[in-house]
Chain A
Amino acid sequence: MKRDMVTFKGINEGIYLEVYGSDIELIKKELDEKISKQLNFFQGMKFLGVKAEGLTPEQVLEISLILKYKYDFVFDTEEDPLNRASKIFVEKDRISDDLSEGMTKFLYGTLRSGQVIEYNGNIVVVGDVNPGAVLKATGNIIVLGVLKGVAYAGLGGNNDAIVAAYDFMPTQLKINDIIVRAPDGGISQYRSPEVAKIYDGEIIIEPYLPNK
Chain B
Amino acid sequence: MENEKKGTAIVITSGKGGVGKTTTSANVGSGLAILGKSVVVVDADIGLRNLDVVLGLENRIVYDIVDVVEKNCRLKQGLIRDKRFDNLYLLPAAQTRDKSAIKPEQMIELINELKEIFDYIIIDCPAGIEQGFQYSIAGADQAIIVTTPEISAVRDADRVIGILEAKGLHNPKLIINRIRPEMVKRGDMMNREDIEDILAIDLLGIVPDDEEIVISTNKGEPAVIERRSLAGNAYMNISRRIIGEEVELLDLDNNGEGKFTKILKLLFSK
Contact = CB atoms under 8 A, between A and B. Distances in A.
On whether the two chains bind one another, the answer is: yes
Interface of A: 113-116, 131-132, 134, 171-172, 179, 181-182, 184
Nearest to A114: B95
Interface of B: 47, 49, 56, 58-62, 83, 95-96
Given A114-B47, A184-B83, A171 B58 contact: yes
A86 to B, nearest CB: 43
B58 A131 contact: yes
A132 B62 contact: no
21 contacts: A113-B95, A114-B47, A114-B95, A114-B96, A115-B96, A116-B96, A131-B58, A132-B49, A132-B95, A134-B96, A171-B58, A171-B59, A172-B59, A172-B61, A179-B62, A181-B59, A181-B60, A182-B59, A184-B56, A184-B59, A184-B83
A184 B58 CA distance: 10
B54 to A, nearest CB: 13
A184 B55 CA distance: 11
Main secondary structure of the interface of A (DSSP, over half): loop
A184 B83 CA distance: 9
B46 to A, nearest CB: 10
Contacts of A179: 62
Give the top 9 A-B pairs by smallest Cβ distance, nearest first.
Answer: A181-B59, A182-B59, A171-B59, A116-B96, A114-B95, A132-B95, A114-B96, A172-B59, A171-B58
A68 to B, nearest CB: 58
A179 B62 CA distance: 9
Nearest to A132: B95
Contacts of B59: 171-172, 181-182, 184
Given A113-B95, A134-B96, 18 more contacts: A114-B47, A114-B95, A114-B96, A115-B96, A116-B96, A132-B49, A132-B95, A171-B58, A171-B59, A172-B59, A172-B61, A172-B62, A179-B62, A181-B59, A181-B60, A182-B59, A184-B56, A184-B83
A112 to B, nearest CB: 10
Contacts of A131: 58
A62 B96 CA distance: 58
Contacts of A132: 49, 95
B237 to A, nearest CB: 28
Nearest to A182: B59
Contacts of A114: 47, 95-96
Nearest to A174: B62
B22 to A, nearest CB: 15
A134 B97 CA distance: 12
Nearest to B96: A116
A117 B54 CA distance: 26
B73 to A, nearest CB: 14
A14 to B, nearest CB: 46
A53 B83 CA distance: 65
Q: Which of B56, B62, B83 has the most CB of A within 10 A?
A: B62
Nearest to A184: B83
A181 B60 CA distance: 7
